[in-house]
């Protein structure tokens, strides 16, 4: 029986091969930079705990929220502006250090529990489990999740507004609702961001690392908050 399929052209094969090499390079560099970004995050948390930053944030939650928003969005803007140079990597690591400092308040609160260390490790393990699951789905599924981005972004805006409002309302039920929603939304964002990198939709590893780091950071923070609320043992 005759085979009427047209053979692929040499140029097409070369282009496909180049595209695969570039995609694998971005993915590899993203994972390496993501692992490296954990170091300044831990250092930032240690600085916040040992130099009284965490205590100061606890006494001035409104001011802390303003500093967080200005610092986080300002650094993210600078990272994106310089993502094509080595300065982008430096700014990304500075951003993760800043996020570690901001994390120190929650870490200090959880460490006040008798089982604080176990809760932190459990939150870290849970975040790693979510990352593994989302990476597996993103690597194997044929479904395209990029159309989720618009709805997830709206969800993030709602989370930010609700979190800022609760600084003044102090409603425990709202804290729980926001934390659960945040874990769901950022887990979905993690799936979208990982799939974009794996399929070659993201060609800059600095931007890719920033997006995935934010997903993991928010999953970890909100998971740790829930564990502290439901599993914290008072000394």
What's the pLDDT tens digit per position in 114-147? 999 999 999 999 999 999 999 999 999 889 888 8
Higher-pLDDT residue of 168 and 30 is 30
Tokens of 118: 């176990």
pLDDT for 49 equals 94
> With bands split at pLDDT 50, 70 and 90, how would you rate the model's confidence at 4?
very low
Query: Which of 8-17, 133-142, 160-169, 203-212 is predicted with the least confidence, judged by mean pLDDT?
Result: 8-17
Q: What is the mean pLDDT of residues 88-100?
A: 97
Contact 114, 233 (CB under 8 A): yes
Tokens of 156: 């993030």
Contact 118, 231 (CB under 8 A): no
pTM: 0.90
**76-91 residue pLDDT tens:** 999 999 999 999 999 9
Output the CA angle 72-157-195, nearest 5 degrees. Answer: 80
Alpha-carbon span 140 to 99, nearest angstrom? 32
The residue extents of the domains of the chain are 14-231
Torsion sign across C-alpha atoms 110, 112, 116, 120: positive
Q: How far is CA 125 from the centre of its chain?
A: 15
Alpha-carbon span 56 to 34, nearest angstrom? 29
- How many percent of the chain have pLDDT more than 90? 67
Contact 213, 34 (CB under 8 A): yes
> With bands split at pLDDT 50, 70 and 90, how would you rate the model's confidence at 11?
low
Tokens of 135: 């990476």
Query: Which of 18-22, 31-35, 40-44, 202-206 is predicted with the least confidence, judged by mean pLDDT?
Result: 18-22
């Amino acid at each position: 029986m005759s085979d009427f399929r047209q053979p692929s052209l040499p140029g097409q094969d070369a282009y496909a091969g180049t595209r695969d090499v570039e995609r694998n390079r971005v993915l590899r560099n993203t994972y390496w930079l993501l692992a490296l970004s954990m170091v300044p995050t831990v250092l930032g948390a240690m600085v916040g705990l040992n130099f009284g930053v965490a205590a100061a944030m606890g006494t001035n939650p409104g001011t802390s929220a303003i500093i967080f928003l200005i610092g986080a969005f300002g650094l993210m803007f600078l990272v994106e502006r310089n993502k094509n140079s080595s300065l982008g990597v430096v700014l990304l690591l500075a951003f993760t250090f800043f996020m570690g400092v901001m994390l120190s308040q929650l870490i200090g609160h959880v460490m006040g529990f008798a089982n604080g260390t176990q809760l932190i490790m459990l939150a870290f393990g849970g975040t790693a489990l979510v990352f593994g699951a989302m990476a597996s789905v993103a690597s194997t599924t044929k479904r395209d999740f990029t159309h989720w981005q618009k709805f997830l972004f709206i969800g993030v805006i709602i989370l930010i507004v609700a979190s800022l409002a609760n600084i003044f309302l102090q409603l425990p039920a709202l804290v729980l609702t926001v934390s659960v929603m945040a874990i769901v939304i950022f887990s979905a964002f993690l799936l979208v961001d990982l799939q974009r990198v794996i399929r070659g939709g993201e060609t800059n590893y600095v931007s890719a690392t920033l997006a995935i780091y934010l997903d993991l950071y928010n999953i970890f923070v909100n998971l740790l908050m829930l564990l502290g609320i439901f599993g914290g043992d008072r000394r």
